A and B are shown apart, each in its own frame.
Chain A
Amino acid sequence: MSNYSYIVWIPLLPLLTFLLLGLFGRRYVKNFSGILGSGSLLVSTVLSLLAARQYFLQDGQLNGVYQKIIAFKFTWLEFSPNVSIDISAIIDPISVMMLVVVTFVSLMVHVFSLGYMKGEERFATYYAYLGLFTFSMLGLVLSGNLFQIYMFWELVGVSSFLLIGYYYNKPSAVAASKKAFIVTRFADLGFLIGILVLAFYGQTLDITTLIERLTSTQSAEFAGITTAGFLGVSMLTWGLSLVFIGGAGKSAMFPLHIWLPDAMEGPTPVSALIHAATMVVAGVYLVARLFPIFSVDGVSLQLVTYVGAFSALLAAIIACTQTDIKRVLAYSTMSQIGYMMFALGVSKQGGESGLGYMASMFHLFTHAFFKSLLFLGAGAVIHLVHSNDMKDMGGLRKLMPVTHIAFLVGCLAISGVPPFAGFFSKEEILLAAFHSNKLIFGVALFTAALTSFYMFRLYFSIFWNKEAAHHPHDHGEGTFSMKFPLVILAICAVVAGFIPFAHFVTSDGVALETHMDLGFSAVPVALSILAILLASVMYRVANDKPEKVASTMGGLYKAASRKFYMDELYLFITKKIIFPLIGQPIAWIDKNIVDGLMNWLASVTARISELIKGLQSGKVQNYALYFFGGVAALAVLFIYIWK
């Protein structure tokens, strides 16, 4: 085994930045914080790229199969001799791929923020939080232990909370940050219980061992977990489905997606990093990490498929009706993650039938580039216009040429137009779906067309449509540090698709030969181009067609623009059910019944002592009276009763 111990520095550097800036940033480092954060992340990125080169091109393979390498491992918390949380770093195709994605996108965001966040009062804090987030995400990616994933999972959640609530005195930001944390926490409860189930039957928390035990039909653990059941469902299905709930929460899958659009309250570069490119794919990564186990359990895999496909469709429909550009992008993220999910769901473990797995990871990879590109582009636009609403935009292509081209590249990539990156990965997903489930394939195709439509609706509304309004605080496209990441990411969004991804990342580590089937690609590409043309007719020049279409759609349009009333439903459950029907009664019972009982006991005691305290009055006359009374009573007793 070759030496990978240097990868420990990849997550540690951002952690050090966090500690340094968190403790001393406000007072001592101040404006230098951005350079410091970006610099340390640059080192991490370089190390990740080196690791990728070493792993993929030099020594990762053994007899043509990519190996799982444990770079380091130590026992962090021992629960029992078999079951312990080990802090470990696992090197395999998906973790190395994610290392590159996370550090690279994070670096771009760090650099972009140098310009975007300039002059913010809590500049150092911002970079500290970015460091914390990057550390947590990298730790998650490298986890070789199920509980370690959960730990970093929670840390990722809290960094997201801190960053969404960065503008802490803005009530909407505070509300959004709370919502994101609580909704994902609710999902994490499922994850936690899933871990308890899997760990109990698998007798280990180590993922590699767990996979070995729960996928081999001979092992005692496998027999145990498949024969034990609850409500007619095997414990394996329970465990995996519960773990998937956790993944669905982080990855904003229906019905746990409600936090994602609100999360756009955070600074836009944060949305690019967390709520588009990295954290939200954690759920996909989790399913991929445990994929060998999922693949032996058809039921939970079906759950993954249908939840993914439904989310993809639902989000695409909602995205067509939103006017906040960040929300459009948020729903498009949800939709694309739905793609990744159902691609995993339709896949099998190993060989040709593992195409979906490869496609999912490929799409995760390309999506990270073009989605962060789109978000950073949107950030540049918002920076100029000082509004999130596309009604305030239009005709910006002349004011911001670089952003315009970059954004266009992003839109083409996400629409799956060849030869942009999204085309390649989306084709593989469609192909995988086609071979396994025609219904899902139909949904995916329709969603793909919708995607092209709403993305170009967005593009035309921002850069074309009406003439550019005069923007008072006109500072052009922003600094070099803002344009530079856009250009880099745009280049990636063009070329990333040409990477022979199937050679590197597959479900079983064996290179997969993929063929571009031109006949198969023709339909989705044609659909996509048609949708773009439609969008161009409706939005390139300001006109009244969109309103007309909206009014003919009637209720459906309204429901979609109100996000199908999911927020209202959740509000109803929390505000009308949990608070008044559980919380308040409990508080009342505690105050009046439980505590009331204690007070009642005390007052009864007091009253009894009030009653009998006369016995100890200290008055001799009274004592004499009691004495003679007693004598008389005894006399009566002896004389008349006992005789």
Chain B
Amino acid sequence: MNLSLLILLPLVTALVILFCNGLKQVRVAALVGSVAQLAVSVRLLLLYQAERTAGNRSPMLFESKQEWFSNLHINYHIGVDGISIAMILLTASVVVAGILVSWTMDKLSKEFFFLLILLSMGAYGFFISLDLFTLFFFLEVAVIPKFLLIGIWGSGKKEYSAMKLALMLMGGSALVFVGLMGVYYQTGSFDLMQIANTPIPLDVQKFFFPFAFLGFGIFAALFPFHTWVPDGHASAPTAASMFLAGISMKLGGYGCLRVATYLMPDAAHAYSWIIILLATIAIIYGAFATMMQTDLKYINAYSSVSHCGFVILGIGMLTRTSINGAVLQMVSHGLMTALFFAAIGMIYSRTHTRMVEQLGGLLKVMPFISTVFVIAGLCSLGLPGFSGFVAEMTVFMGSWQNPDGWYRFATILACASIVVTAVYILRAAGKTVMGPMDDHYATLTDATWNEKLAAAILIVGIVLIGVAPFLINQLIMPGTDTIMMQVGKAITQK
């Protein structure tokens, strides 16, 4: 399969949108394009599985390589493994859902959908890149639309939030760039697979790893650089919140794993205690901060800080199981927060408030939306049957395999967050969908078909992972093993 299709399809969709007129044409074009993309992603999954069953054990499949700037050794080099496919499927699902919930976006609709599609193109490109320069290029493609989406279509203090988000993510990108340059000048290559086979001296790794890891970490809400998350999510329009939490934050986690840890495993090992420290702080601190929030979007945004902490923790623990868990958590969190933001958006568009204390008893008038809200909440608090449980438990089991006493302590603290999560989720759900209902909500209506479909797509993903985790485990395991080979070498050298 030609992977370039994954980039071309959004590009074509975006161009078609430019030639459409009015909301009705634009949204149909966007939906058709994104559904086609989802179909292509599913097909990619099937082809990948077929290749693996046929016994193809090479780390990356469907590779293709074009020279881009030969004198700088920059190539357009793409390929996928199970981890990237999981990310691509996540992106495709969130994009379809995001477009469906924006079905009635009548303010500058052409520009809105154009930017959404552009953002998704950046993400697809990022996940399939095997060349660091291409990867960086797509990372930037995915940043700019966010600024505009929040700045133009946002609510509240949107200019501030948009600026903050863009500046912090740009700062992150700058750090990433320094990290990539360091690797490039050491190895003379931008090629991910090639660099992995070139030993990089420990002191070089130790110097450049922090740049790359922190840079990507900012995208993944690494403490203390997470403050763009609450403001950014809260101000963003629903679809943009979904994209931001469901896709953008995953760019960071993926980068931390695929670029920083994979290419500089010795440094990852050396710095693992700092990574774990920051991740543990993020998990606990994010959870307690969530508990004190009163705005539904802030609740979900802060809980994202806490949940993304599991991704970082899994990576920092450097065991096969924990890294697997980190990938699972990325997918799970992506689907779950997208669902949560979708539900919040649906509630907000009807009640015109997101303040928990003003809401109540919505289950009576909007059973569907309320159920979606509760499902997202239960997934967030790690209920078995939903993806959150599988991901969190894998991270915990993996983390515990690291026998160091302090790492154990960190794992216990991370586990403790499941209690705090239960508290804030039940507070939010107990007040919003349960409890007595205000009379002026009595006339509100339940979800429309597009909203139902959007929620259904995400719930199917969440439940599929939650009920049959062996499927996704089998998908990402070879990818984890590739990364673990590098990490294993680093650990045994010690």
Q: Report A's interface with B, CB cutoff 8 A.
A: 26, 75-80, 83, 85, 147, 150-152, 154-155, 158, 161, 165, 168-169, 171, 174-175, 177-178, 181-182, 185-186, 188-189, 192-193, 196, 199-200, 579, 582-584, 586-587, 590, 594-595, 597-598, 602
Contact = CB atoms under 8 A, between A and B. Distances in A.
B366 interface: no
B49 interface: no
B418 A79 contact: no
Contacts of A154: 382-384, 389
B435 A169 contact: yes
Given A154-B383, A590-B289, A77 B416 contact: no
A267 B338 CA distance: 35
Given A77-B473, A79-B394, A587-B289, A193 B437 contact: no
A185 B384 CA distance: 13
Contacts of B227: 590, 594-595, 598
Contacts of B288: 582-583, 586-587
Given A77-B470, A154-B383, A165 B419 contact: no
A196 B400 contact: yes
11 contacts: A77-B469, A77-B473, A165-B430, A168-B434, A189-B418, A583-B289, A584-B292, A586-B292, A587-B289, A598-B168, A602-B167
Given A169-B437, A171-B435, A583-B292, A181 B383 contact: no
Given A79-B398, A169-B437, A597 B224 contact: yes
B289 A586 contact: yes
A168 B396 contact: no
A66 B419 CA distance: 40
Interface of A is mostly: helix
A-B pairs, 9 with minimum CB distance: A587-B292, A151-B384, A595-B227, A168-B434, A196-B400, A185-B422, A586-B288, A77-B469, A178-B426
B401 interface: yes
A75 B418 contact: no
A78 B389 contact: no
Given A154-B383, A192-B415, A583-B291, A181 B422 contact: yes
B397 interface: yes
**Most A Cβ at <10 Å: residue of B167, B321, B430, B433:** B430
A165 B385 CA distance: 20
B201 interface: no
B476 to A, nearest CB: 12
A126 to B, nearest CB: 14
Interface in B162-193: 164, 167-168
Nearest to B371: A22
B157 to A, nearest CB: 12
Given A152-B384, A182-B423, A77 B390 contact: yes
Contacts of A587: 288-289, 292-293
Interface in B403-434: 411-412, 415-416, 418-419, 422-423, 426-427, 430, 433-434
**Most B Cβ at <10 Å: residue of A150, A199, A579, A590:** A590
Interface string B372-383: 000000100111
B320 interface: yes
Interface in B127-158: none
B347 to A, nearest CB: 16
B479 interface: no
B389 A151 contact: yes
B361 interface: yes
B397 A83 contact: yes
Contacts of B434: 165, 168-169, 174
A482 to B, nearest CB: 28
Contacts of A78: 470, 473
Contacts of B89: none
A511 to B, nearest CB: 37
A80 B397 CA distance: 9
B418 A594 contact: no
A590 B7 CA distance: 38
Contact of A155 (B321, B384, B411, B426): B384
A80 B469 contact: no
Contacts of B452: none
Contacts of A598: 164, 168, 225, 227
B264 interface: no
Interface of B is mostly: helix
Nearest to A597: B224
B381 to A, nearest CB: 8
Given A78-B473, A169-B364, A182-B426, A193 B412 contact: yes
B61 to A, nearest CB: 22
Contacts of B293: 587
Contacts of A182: 419, 422-423, 426
A155 to B, nearest CB: 6
Nearest to B422: A185
B470 A75 contact: yes
Contacts of B9: none
A169 B293 CA distance: 23
A624 B123 CA distance: 50
Contacts of A583: 288-289, 291-292
A181 B419 CA distance: 10
A152 B411 CA distance: 23
A411 B164 CA distance: 68
A200 B426 contact: no
A586 B381 CA distance: 20
A595 B227 CA distance: 6
Contacts of A178: 426-427, 430
**Most A Cβ at <10 Å: residue of B363, B397, B433:** B397
Contacts of B393: 77, 85, 147
B285 interface: yes
Contacts of B292: 579, 583-584, 586-587
Given A77-B390, A155-B384, A193-B412, A200 B400 contact: yes
Contact of A169 (B412, B415, B436): B436
B224 A158 contact: no
Nearest to A199: B397
Contacts of A75: 470
B285 A590 contact: yes
A165 B433 CA distance: 11
Given A171-B436, A594-B227, A196 B361 contact: no
Given A169-B361, A196-B396, 19 more contacts: A26-B367, A77-B473, A78-B470, A80-B321, A147-B393, A154-B383, A155-B385, A169-B434, A171-B435, A177-B426, A181-B426, A193-B415, A196-B411, A200-B400, A582-B288, A590-B289, A594-B224, A594-B227, A595-B227
**Most B Cβ at <10 Å: residue of A26, A189, A199, A598:** A598
Interface in B55-89: none
**Most A Cβ at <10 Å: residue of B226, B289, B415, B436:** B289
Contacts of A151: 384, 389
B160 to A, nearest CB: 9
Contacts of A26: 367
Contacts of A177: 426, 430
A184 to B, nearest CB: 9
A518 B3 CA distance: 83
Nearest to B361: A169
Given A582-B288, A586-B292, A80 B320 contact: yes
Nearest to A154: B384
A579 B294 CA distance: 14
A178 B423 CA distance: 8
A75 B164 CA distance: 46
Contact of A185 (B289, B321, B389, B419): B419
A78 B469 CA distance: 9
A80 B401 CA distance: 10
B397 A192 contact: no
Contacts of A582: 288
Given A196-B411, A584-B292, A598-B164, A186 B383 contact: no
Nearest to A574: B423
Contacts of A586: 285, 288-289, 292
